[in-house]
Amino acid sequence: MKIIIATIKSWNIKKAYNFKNNNANDIYIFTDKNELTYEKVNHINPQYIFFPHWSWIISKEIYEKFNCVVFHITDLPFGRGGSPLQNLIDIGIENTKISALKVCNGIDSGDIYLKENLNLNGSADEIFMRASEIIFKDMIPKIINENIVPTKQKGEIVEFKRRNFSQSEILLDFNLKKIYDYIRMLDGEGYPKAFIRFGKYKLEFSRASLKNNKIIADVEIIDEDD
């Protein structure tokens, strides 16, 4: 069986190569959007293309011909759309699902292969690493080995909007728990850190812990005039 894994985050790339080295199937790993062309994919002719974390549009000619599977960190159809992790934490959800779904022309609206539980404690990086372990250890092997037929999504559709940079700012009316959640949910590779403004300075926070009614965190102070 030929399989393509297309992913961009460092932990998923590492997991992908480990998966390749310990798998009897022919595994091709794409880590650059320019690699994922119809010509290259068609030449390989994979049975599946898995997208553990992919930030670009998948072309129609690819997903209509090949079994393209993305992994979305919500219990679909709840939480379709952008910034699922941050939106979940922002509304106070502590446990969710990883939904493996077939790519189609609608946003996160494809048929579901399977779902697995995911706890949302810790920083964004820690959560994504936990998700990566589940995806590569459990979900991808099940889809490959059990020949799962995806089924239609069921339930009420709730859509999320992609968060923008301004929504990373810690505001004066935040309580301690919300400040902590903002820091941890944005503490991930490629995400804008939670911040506050102090005059011409921007203070960015990471590595937060909440204990005994206080937050301990790293802070980077940036002079925005420089």
Q: In this structure, what CATH number is given to the domain that contains residue 103?
A: 3.40.50.170
- Pair 178, 140 in one domain: no
Q: Is the pLDDT of residue 226 over 80?
A: no
Nearest to 145 by CA among 103, 113, 97: 113
Check if the beta carbon of residue 4 is closer than 8 Å to that of residue 49. yes
Q: What is the pTM of this model?
A: 0.91
- Pair 133, 171 in one domain: no
Going across the sheet that includes 214-223, the strands are 194-198, 201-211, 214-223
- Pair 21, 90 in one domain: yes
pLDDT tens digits, one per residue of 112-167 = 999 999 999 999 999 999 999 999 999 999 999 998 999 999 999 999 999 988 89
Task: Work out whether strand 78-81 and strand 67-72 pair parallel, antiparallel, or are unpaired.
Answer: unpaired
- Pair 175, 86 in one domain: no
Nearest to 207 by CA among 94, 122, 131: 122
Name 70's Cβ contacts closer than 8 Å, sequence gap at least 6: 51, 54, 58, 100, 101, 103, 108, 110
- Pair 42, 61 in one domain: yes
Instruction: Give the containing element (helix H, strand E) for 214.
Output: strand 214-223
Average pLDDT over residues 181-193: 94
pLDDT category, 224, cuts 50, 70, 90?
Answer: confident
160, 192, 212: which is the final residue of a domain?
A: 160
Count of structural domains within the chain: 2
Check if the beta carbon of residue 163 is closer than 8 Å to that of residue 87. yes
- Pair 99, 36 in one domain: yes
- Which residues span the domain enclosing 188? 165-223
Name 133's Cβ contacts closer than 8 Å, sequence gap at least 6: 15
160, 182, 198: which is the final residue of a domain?
A: 160
- Pair 98, 150 in one domain: yes
Check if the beta carbon of residue 96 is closer than 8 Å to that of residue 103. no
- Pair 199, 216 in one domain: yes
- Pair 141, 183 in one domain: no
132, 160, 188: which is the final residue of a domain?
A: 160
